Structure 1
Amino acid sequence: MKVLLDTCVWGGVRTELATAGYDVVWTGDWSEDPGDEEILATAYSEGRILVTLDKDFGELAIVRGTSHCGILRLVNLSARQQATVCLRVLELYGNELTSGAIVTAELGRVRIRPPDEA
């Protein structure tokens, strides 16, 4: 599974996901931040699930109808918790995400917005 981590996601998540076998790119490695629209467009063109802390991506997808390959938003998690929750959500809800769902995850709670509602 291919994943694009937004800059706001702890860089250690990249290591954890790569160790688990995911194909991971972290925007924190890019020379500059191209902005949310370009990040989402890159994730879409490369067939990557976008993982972020930023609710603006959901707004781009829902309000503006911007195409995407799934968005996972992590909420109220410490840096270390981000990796654990991200791995668990990708394991449990990877199919929904790759189908274009928007998943919001926090400790003990996951909300899924199916693609037909996005």
Structure 2
Amino acid sequence: MRFLLDMNASGALLSLLLDSGHDVVCVRDVDRKMSDSEILNWAVRERRIIITTDSDFEQMIWLQARQHCGVLRLENLPRSERMSLFEEVLSSYGQDLEAGAVVIASKQKIRIRRS
């Protein structure tokens, strides 16, 4: 899968994705001050799924009808809990993400919104 990690995604998540053979790019490697709008444009241009803890992307998608290629918003949990949550989402909802869904994952529940 092709991912774009937002500034708030952990280095441990980057390592996990790369070790699993995914194609991953990071905002922090390009421009730490890049706006969410620019990040969304980049993800669409390269057909990448955004991983973030930030709800701003959902607002742009639903309120501004912005194009996207999938977003995974993880609850901002301690690193080990966030990693477990990510692995659960990827194994159970990876196809939804690849199909362009917005997945909102917290410890309590996982919501999937399809375009």
Q: Are 2:31 and 1:28 equivalent residues in the alignment?
A: no
Return the alpha-carbon distance in structure 1 between the equivalents of residues 46 and 106 of structure 2: 26
Shift of 1:4: 0.6
**Residues 10 and 82, structure 1, Cα contact 8 Å, conserved in 2:** no
- Tell me which residue corresponds to 1:40: 40
> Aligned partners of 2:55, 2:27: CA distance in 1, in Å?
17
Aligned length: 115
Give the aligned residue type for 1:8: N
| Aligned match of 2:87 | 87
TM-score (norm. length: structure 2): 0.91
Unaligned ranges ≥5, structure 1: none
Q: Secondary structure at the match of 2:32?
A: coil
Q: Deviations over 1:34-82 (max 9, x none)?
A: 2000101101111111000000000000100111110100114112322
Give TM-score, length-normalised by structure 1.
0.89
Instruction: State the Cα deviation string for residues 67-118 of structure 1 (Å, max 9, x = none).
Output: 1110100114112322232232122212111222110001252111111xxx
Unpaired runs of 5+ residues, structure 2, are: none
Query: Is the CA contact 2:50–2:71 (under 8 Å) kept in the aligned structure 1?
Result: yes
Match of 2:52 in 1: 52
User: 2: distance between equivalents of 1:60 and 1:108?
Assistant: 24
What corresponds to 2:107 in structure 1? 107
CA–CA separation in structure 2 for the residues paired with 1:85 and 1:17? 14
* 4+ aligned runs moved over 4 Å, structure 1: none
